Structure 1
Amino acid sequence: MKGCGIAVAILVSVLQCGAENRDVNNICLGAPNLSYVASLISCSYYYACIDGVAYGYSCEEGKWFSTELQSCVHPEDSDCDIEQPPELPTPPPPTPSPMCDDVPDFSYLPSTESCQIYYQCIDGFAYRLSCPAYYWFNVTAQRCGNRYEFDCDLDTTTSVPPTTPANRCAFEPNFGLVENPSFCDRFFFCMSGMEFPMICWNELVFDYEKQTCVSPDQSDCDVTEPTPSPEPEPNLCENVDDGQSVLDSRYCNQYLTCQNEIGVSAVCTDGLWFDQDQQECVHPIDAYCPHGGNSASPTPDVCIGIEDGAFVASPYDCDSYYVCANEVAYRLFCPPKQHFDADRNMCDDSSLVVCPL
């Protein structure tokens, strides 16, 4: 299965994915691999134990999980005895965003506080978005651009601060590239807020403004000369047919072509990834790379089988969600102090939204 380069096949039969709860991994201690374990807080939640890691799911509406049957069933057939929470009252309808009055759907509006921040109006609600670090939004062009393309009339110090090394892709758009702070010849490809390691080709170095690799004399990278890359793992070509290529163990765009179980290294250019199944360099949305992410958990392919334009709740946090296009998930963020409501397909005040995470 593929999609966004980060699809993972999970052998479960559920209608609605939840999120991995990073504090409940101990719940899988002693559980058989690929088995299901009941939640400790809700009859409708359960966990899939995969290689000792717990991945959370919820049953379809009106069903409870049964440990004995290892599936979601009618509540009368479930062995769950957890006291259920009271049914919450229906919240009042949210207040539309005044800034979106008389603004066509899907139009973009600038922020009055930062040139980097902008908003998209959908059904009268303003959804907060961000240009990449050091890029500014231009309302006339309806897109982000660098400082050489667009002027900023606001104090640029109000822009979102640069992301931390642990989360370099937090404010980057899908398919954006960010520098590796330790090496001039390496960078990260951003997808759904996750970072995927890449390396430049032909002894080039990465340039953030140009969003590609350039000649060293065209770059202002001042990182000290990088240490040589470690030798490829000797067993990558073990039992691999001559002429077949395998993905490198470190980068999404580097691969080894095997001959007599010895690999010759090569690098995909122009932001492409190497896909081992297709045996060629392809666009990242058509490839699978296991090296990315800011957490150890797989990323669910939330838009597979979902119609274009549909919204899907994030399985990792409550203030972001995804819009689906061609089964590819594009991450969006709610306005400040709002959470995404999966039942109503919209953002609303966090006090009015039940967040299961």
Structure 2
Amino acid sequence: MKGFAVFSSTVSLFLILFGVSQTLAIFNNICRLFPEGTKLGDPRSCESYITCINSTEVFTKCSKNQTFSVESKKCVSSKTGCVDPCAPDVDEYWLADTRSCSGYYYCKNGVGTIGNCSPGQHFDESLQECIYSEKSKCKGDNYCEIVPNNINFKDENDCEKYRVCSKRKLKSKKCPKGQWFDRDTGNCAKKSSVKSCNSLPTKVCVKGLRVEKNKFVPDKATCRGYYYCADVGKSADENPEWHQCKEGQFFNYKSQSCTDPLNVKCDEDRCDGRGNLFVNSAKSCQHYLVCQNGLSVAERKCADEMFFDEKRQGCTSEVIEYDICS
């Protein structure tokens, strides 16, 4: 590696060994992406694995002569587990880590010691040195080297999306409309029930071609949540403050206030903050939602020529024409 050439071999080895204590950049607390109890390979060693407990990495070393198998998610004979990437005859050579664009191995006597480039840099094996990421040909870090197949995990760039390894290839998938990916369960769920995503909607302070200034706008995730868009000049506020109406009220953009839910059209879960009530559905004035602990668990319909009246908590023959369902 040219970057190390000016140092003595002793100093070079010290720098490489120092890198051992640093987890690869993409794997810093990788458990933030996975459900409780998930087992993953250790990106630093074939002989140990990670168990996700309370969203934190817990490292466990396999028994002697065993390595961790990502496929079977357990320690197996070292003959069938992962192997050291450095061939027996590879000596004093830096080898790219296929799991990470920034990672590399220093091969000495056929044994690899893992290291990592500085933030913003990728390792280039042909040059034997770290280079700026924009000059790199590496397409992306390969989670699937340590993540078992068919385990859904969080995409930190988009709450509606998640990732999964299929046949050791990383794939991106999207939740159904109106749902977010819930890291805690590994499945898609209604936005209001997902606690593991706090994504800020894109262009939240832009409405059409107009920049929202000194205004409250819906958070696009719940019926109660809203943001305050400050006046920051010509551009839109990129860090608006989030607020929430008290239970039993929804945010009303037109009135710029928290009001009776029957006065607010909202496409999100209308059971949000409503406890165990029956509430009018936006589908029609004959439909209503069954709420349990502030979440919608079912949608039902009144008999023909009957309408649901949220205020009376029941179906009635009186024609109901609330704005939210008419």
TM over 0.5: no
Q: TM-score, normalised by structure 2?
A: 0.25
Q: Which has the higher strand share?
A: 2
Q: Tell me which of the two structures has the higher relative contact order, counting C-alpha pairs closer than 8 angstroms and 6 or more residues apart.
A: 1
